[in-house]
Chain A
Amino acid sequence: MSRNRDREITKQAFIKTIPIMCSYLFVSMAYGMMMEAAGFHWYYSLLVSLTVYTGAFQFVLITFLSSGVSFVTVGLTAFLMNSRQSFYSLTFLDEFRKMGKRLPYMIHTMTDETYAVNLTLESEGKEKEDTMFLIAFFSRCYWMIGTVAGGVLGQIIPFDLAGIDFCMTALFIIIFIDQWEKTKNHFPALIGVGVAVICLLVVGQKNFMLPALIIVSGILLFMRKNEEGRV
């Protein structure tokens, strides 16, 4: 009986992750290829995917690894790009805590996609815990497999990979459009573009990221203070 139940849960979890599979295999393969094009073989890509395991930031990390940016820029960018993960964890505080030994794994494997799928689960208790664990596990496997496959493909592909790094730009434009369509308040997005372009022109290509990120967060925080003052 129990084996049947396990098989049923595994099957349900796998079905839930099929959309994640399509997206992760593709994006992580692009990641592996871009790493290869930047001079990092598949084992470096796999190391990053294993330890960092976060979509958009891993792409930015490629340019950091191959350029001379400071550790402060790396740290602040990681912090700002990944702080949304904290909000995901908030939703599942109580449920993950009940999972005991699996808690660190659940924390490490929380991504935009697994978060979204976990929200759609209708089961409860032990069954839901097992399903969430398997969703995290499957998704992580897709990401690792794609990463290595992309790196190996990048090594043997016969044509010039110059320009393949545009897949990161494309991914970010798509996320940007999705975010734009979800909200009526376009001010943060416009501030981001404006400040970044000005910093790029003033400070130059090499060092504009850090001031741009600090100024943007500063302006957004300052606006919030002003709003509170008025209330």
Chain B
Amino acid sequence: MDEARVIGIIILSAVITFSLRAFPFLIFRGKRRMPEHLVYLGNILPAAIMAVLIVYCLKDVAGSFEMYGVPQLTAVLVVAVSYKWKHNTFVSIILGTACNMILMQVLSV
């Protein structure tokens, strides 16, 4: 593990995150408000970013289908169906993660 790199990445992330939280306090004084196109982007960007991140999480599926694809895609189904049904974050995360871990163990034997 390259310690300097790890610390560097953590500091970079912390600085960017704090700046994003703080920047409206620096920019918007008095009557100045957020420009409309930024408000628009703020409304629609999160869903698109979350979609990219899900693909990022599942990127190993493209590499090795038997080893990662079967457990992960099954677990995705478990999470989506259980969440649609009960809308319980806790239950869906536990079920999906357990499903993935068990299938990985079974298939790697």
The residues of A with any CB-CB pair to B shorter than 8 Å are 22-23, 26, 30, 39-40, 44, 47-48, 51-54, 56-57, 60-61, 63-65, 71, 74-75, 78-90, 93, 96-97, 103-104, 107-108, 110, 160-164, 166-177, 179-180, 183, 185-186, 188-193, 195-197, 200-201, 205, 208-209, 212-213, 216-217, 220-221, 224, 228
Q: Which one of B9, B34, B52, B75 lies within 8 Å of A212 (CB-CB)?
A: B52
Q: Which one of B16, B47, B80 lies within 8 Å of A188 (CB-CB)?
A: B47
CA distance in complex: A224, B59 (Å):
30
Q: Is the CB of B10 within 8 A of A48?
A: yes
**Main SS of the interface on chain B?**
helix
CA distance in complex: A83, B60 (Å):
27
Q: Is the CB of B48 within 8 A of A192?
A: yes
- Which residue of chain B lies nearest to A223 when distances are taken between CB atoms in the complex? B44
A27 vs chain B, min Cβ distance (A): 8
- Which residue of chain B lies nearest to A79 when distances are taken between CB atoms in the complex? B16
Q: Is the CB of B100 within 8 A of A78?
A: no
Total residues of chain B contacting the partner, CB 8 A? 63
Q: Is the CB of B57 within 8 A of A169?
A: yes
Known: A89-B24, A166-B96, A188-B47. 8 other contacts (CB 8 A): A78-B12, A110-B21, A162-B101, A166-B101, A196-B52, A196-B54, A209-B56, A220-B41
